[in-house]
Structure 1
Amino acid sequence: MATTSALAQTVAPSADIARGDIEQGRRLLDQYQCGACHAIPGIPAARGTAGPPLGQFGRRSYAAGRVPNTEALLARWIVNPHSMNPATTMPAMGASEQEARHMAAYLLSLQ
């Protein structure tokens, strides 16, 4: 298992990827049906209970309980959760790096 600092070093954001857009992230979380597993404030149909609730996500120190809660690392988690935790039950949903940045921006805005 990689250490937190090792993960942070291996997941540097691509220089051509812009910071995420909060409203676009909200729409994408709905589009990718993240609410089937997670309760997500601001997304009416997002009432899932299989995954952890994502309210006040921006106040968390760690994303997925494993890595520092930054936009870049959270986006990496969204794109390929198994690369960061092979035992996770969260599926890779096919989001692009930029879409994941938008979703991360929305989640980090939840205070």
Structure 2
Amino acid sequence: MPASLKWLALLLAASVLAAMAAGAVMYAETRARTRVMAEQVSGGTVTAGRAAIARYGCGSCHAIPGVAGASGSVGPSLAKVAVRASIAGRLPNDAEAMALWLRHPQAVTPRNGMPEQGVTRSDARDITAYLYTLK
């Protein structure tokens, strides 16, 4: 192989590696920005929300990305819940409405499939923070 082609191949490989590194940095920055925004909007903590989701057993009914074992199919998947227009087809998708739904789903829509779990106000804020990272 001529030297000029070797340099061209090396330059191409370096360019691909640089693009991959830049993509990884952009991905990490986007995730961090999403987490910060979700915590600011909800008043909760994303990490605590993930733990609360597991503790309340939400994954037994819902598929929830990022939560180990959360692969239920009784309720809707919560993938991309942060970008949906409404919650349960009734409430606007904002942090206050999400926390209300999580705490008292039967008061919002009597006899719906979402059970009252006794979710605390603090846990509802944390769960909302986590769910708002699912874009």
Q: Is TM more than 0.5 here?
A: yes
1:59-80 per-position Cα deviation (integer Å, ceiling 9, x unaligned): 1010111101111111111111
Of 62, 65, 73, the residue aligned with 1:41 is 65
Residue 54 of structure 1: aligned partner: 78
Identical-pair percentage: 38
How many residue pairs were aligned? 94
Unmatched runs of 5 consecutive residues or more in structure 1: 1-17
Say if 2:108 is the partner of 1:84.
yes
Partners in 1 of 2:63 and 2:84 — Cα distance? 16
Unmatched runs of 5 consecutive residues or more in structure 2: 1-41
Q: Report SS of the residue matched to 1:109.
A: coil
Residue 103 of structure 1: aligned partner: 127
Name the amino acid aligned to 1:46: A
Runs of 4+ displaced beyond 6 Å: none
1:12-60 per-position Cα deviation (integer Å, ceiling 9, x unaligned): xxxxxx7111111011001111000000000120000000000011110
Name the amino acid aligned to 2:86: Y
Residue 52 of structure 2: aligned partner: 28
| TM-score, normalised via structure 1 length | 0.81
Say if 2:89 is the partner of 1:65.
yes
Q: Report SS of the residue matched to 1:47.
A: coil
| TM-score, normalised via structure 2 length | 0.67
Residue 12 of structure 1: aligned partner: none
Partners in 2 of 1:41 and 1:48 — Cα distance? 11
